[in-house]
Each structure stands twice: as structure tokens, then as C-alpha cells.
Amino acid sequence: MLTRSRPSWFLPESAATPEGVYLNRRKLMKGLAGAAVLPAIGGFAAPALAATERAMLTGALDKAYTEGGPHRPLTPEEMNLHYNNFYEFGSQKAIYDEAERSLKPRPWTISIEGMVDKPLTLDVDALIKKMTLEERVYRHRCVEAWSMVVPWVGFPLSKLVDMAQPMSSAKYLEMQTFNDPGMASGIRTQPWYPWPYVEGLTMAEATNDLPFVAVGAYGKVLANQMGAPIRLHLPWKYGFKSIKSIVRFTFTDKRPVGFWEEISKQSGNTEYGFWANVNPKVAHPRWSQANERVLSTGETIPTELFNGYGEQVASLYAGMGDLGDMLYR
Ligand code: MTE
């Protein structure tokens, strides 16, 4: 019998999804896993699904989740595939068309550099093969005040940090997206933006259990528009920190300046600061963050501090003063 204990962030799909949809999807996933029709890039899909099946069997129907718990419907895959922020392909939500056609997620080289003893360059599939993949259902809250629930497949960022073995003097992890104007028209047509897209975390944040490197979603290889072949997801921070299509991880002692933070600075504003923790009490200078629109149902619900993940991450910011001040610093 499996006795795997459930981490406190665990949001089982059974709680995030209406029952009929959930049961159908379980059937579908079982069928797909057996029929070997899953895209097998990196050979990850089947093992990841098997792990999910195990998690389901070890008691996912927890009352805490089904009765008054953080019940939110899983965002349908179709909706997620057609409502994206990916400025490399333009500033509209419907960038899927060009991303599907133009982004070439394989071959894809990733470098791990900066304050590490041995800088490393490797193919994304070689990196995936080194990791044990799992599925995590996370809430996603965009700074634009909409939210989703996404079943990611991937590995904890902390495992990548373990592999990289950064020097003790490294204080931050900076991540960078591809910068190829030939592949993405938004880079060509919006030259005023400070490409490439960059984001960063403190080492304490990067080694927390929550940050997740996604290489798949909905039991499949990650779709181009969702940030193929490899992206980050930080469920307690506004979505702009969850950088897509990563090519470089750099360990550094200088605090990275994010893409949106730089844009904001250039226009004399302080809108998208380094910390960007979800906080309903701190309004964006141009709109409230008190509520969010759940994309799948259209309903408006109150936003939670740290997007409801305070138990896992609040200690990272202890002693840092007013949490409410942190979005825009
Ligand atoms: N990463 C890159 N490289 N470019 C982007 O424009 N947008 C961010 C984030 N990562 C963005 C990015 C924003 S604002 C959000 S809300 C999420 O990606 C959206 O992810 P999704 O399209 O998968 O929902």
C-alpha cells in the first residue's frame, strides 16, 4: 500500500473539478496512458500520470477539500489554450495561433550559469530525464485580476537548484526567456520592450517547495502558448513572475530586474516590483486586487493573501515589514 503523505499545498483534481468532468478525465487519462498515444517527448507523460493515479488512490477525496475547502474548478484545457499572456507573440490574449505555428520548442538548449562551480549547458530533454516528474494542481492569479486552476506536470525548482549546486554567495536566481525576433513577432513589432523577458527569485524562494518547473499540463507536453518547452509556475505570486519558455538560469548576487519591473521603471512607475506576492489589500495603482474573476465560471471571488498559499510561503517574508507594501517595491 502506498503511504505517501500529502503536502499541504495539495489541491486534488477531484476537488478542483466538477465530478462528472473529473471522472471522465480520469478515464481519459487512464486510456491515454495505456494506449501510448501521449506525446512521448522526454518520455515523461506516462510516469507522470501514473504518479497522479497513485496520489488519487491514496485518499485524494479529503473532506477538507470537498467541503468548504479551496474548491475551484479546474480550468478547462481549451480555455487555457486560448487565453494567454505571452508578449513575445503580441499583447492580445489570443496569441495561440502564432505561438502554435512559430515557437519551435525542440531542440531547446538550456544553460545554468553564474555563481555555480560548473556551468552547464544541456538539452531540455536531457534535463527532463534527470528529474522525477509529478503532477501538481495549482491556482494561478494574474495581476490583471483573473484566475485559473491548472494541472501542471513537472518538477520542483528546488531540484534544479540542487543539481546546479550554486555557490553559497549566490543570493538570487535569474531566469530568462528566448530572445529570437525571427520566432516571435511581438519581439519584432514591440522593440521598445526590454527583451528578453527576465524574472527572478531569492534563493530562499527558489528552494521553497512550491516553485514548480512545468514541462507539461493537462497530462500532455506543454503547449507552445503556455510556455513550451519549460516554464515556471509560482502559485503565490502574480502570474507575470511565472516566466515562460526559459533558456537560461543564472545564479547571481544581484537582484534581477524583471521585464515588467523594467518597463514600469522606464515609464516612471512602480507597478510590477520584484516581490509581487498576491495581496488583496494592495491595489495595483490602476485597479483593485481585492477580487478576481474565475475564468472558467465567470464568477468574482475574493482574492486571498499569497493566493491561499500562506502556510507554505509566509515565513519567507517574516520580518520584512508590511507585506502589503511588497508588490510595488
Ligand atoms: N513569460 C514570458 N516569457 N512572456 C510573457 O509575456 N506573461 C506572464 C507569464 N509569463 C509572460 C510570461 C503573465 S503576465 C502571465 S499571467 C502568465 O505568463 C500567463 O501564463 P498562461 O498564458 O499560461 O496563463
The residue nearest atom 13 of ligand 1, judged by CA position, is 240
Question: Atom 12 (ligand 1): residue with closest C-alpha?
Answer: 243
Instruction: Grade residue 72 by pLDDT with cuts at 50, 70 and 90.
Output: confident
CA–CA separation, 244 and 228 (whole Å): 7
Q: What is the pTM of this model?
A: 0.85
pLDDT in tens, 137-173: 999 999 999 999 999 999 999 999 999 999 999 999 9
327: pLDDT confidence band, cut at 50, 70 and 90? low
| C-alpha cell recorded at residue 263 | 518597463
Return all residues near 236 (Cβ < 8 A) that are at least 6 apart.
210, 277, 278, 306, 307, 309, 310, 312, 313
Q: Where are the domains of the chain?
A: 76-328
How far does the centroid of ligand 1 lie from the alpha carbon of residue 240, in Å? Answer: 5
- Above 90 in pLDDT, residue 270? no
In this structure, the strands spanning 246-252 and 109-114 are parallel
What is the Cα–Cα distance from 315 to 116, expressed in whole angstroms?
Answer: 27
Average pLDDT over residues 294-309: 94
CA distances from 115 to 2, 11, 182, 186 (A): 40, 35, 31, 32
Residue 6, all three cell numbers: 500529502
How many separate helices (H) and strands (E) can be counted in the chain? Answer: 12, 12
Average pLDDT over the chain, rounded to whole?
83
* Residue 275, pLDDT above cutoff 60: yes
Q: Is 138 exposed, middle or buried (0-12, 13-18, 19+ CB in 10 A)?
A: buried
Alpha carbon of 242 to ligand 1 centroid (Å): 6
DSSP characters over 266-300: HTT---S-S--B--TTS-BTTB--SEEEETTT--E
Of the listed ranges 11-15, 17-21, 131-135, 144-148, the least confidently predicted one is: 17-21
What are the grid coordinates assigned to 140, written together?
494561478
- Grid cell, residue 283, equals 491595489
Q: Domain 76-328: state its class.
A: alpha beta
Q: Are 173 and 152 in contact (CB under 8 A)?
A: no
Nearest CA to ligand 1 atom 3: 244
What is the rounded distance in angstroms from the CA atom of residue 223 to the CA atom of residue 209? 24
From ligand 1's centre to the CA of 84, what distance in Å? Answer: 7
The whole-angstrom separation of Cα 6 and Cα 92 is: 38
Q: Give the rounded percent of residues in the chain with a pLDDT score beyond 90.
A: 70
Confidence of residue 268 (pLDDT cuts 50, 70, 90): confident
Of the spans 36-45, 78-87, 264-273, 279-288, which averages the highest pLDDT? 78-87
Q: Which residue has the cell 479546474?
A: 74
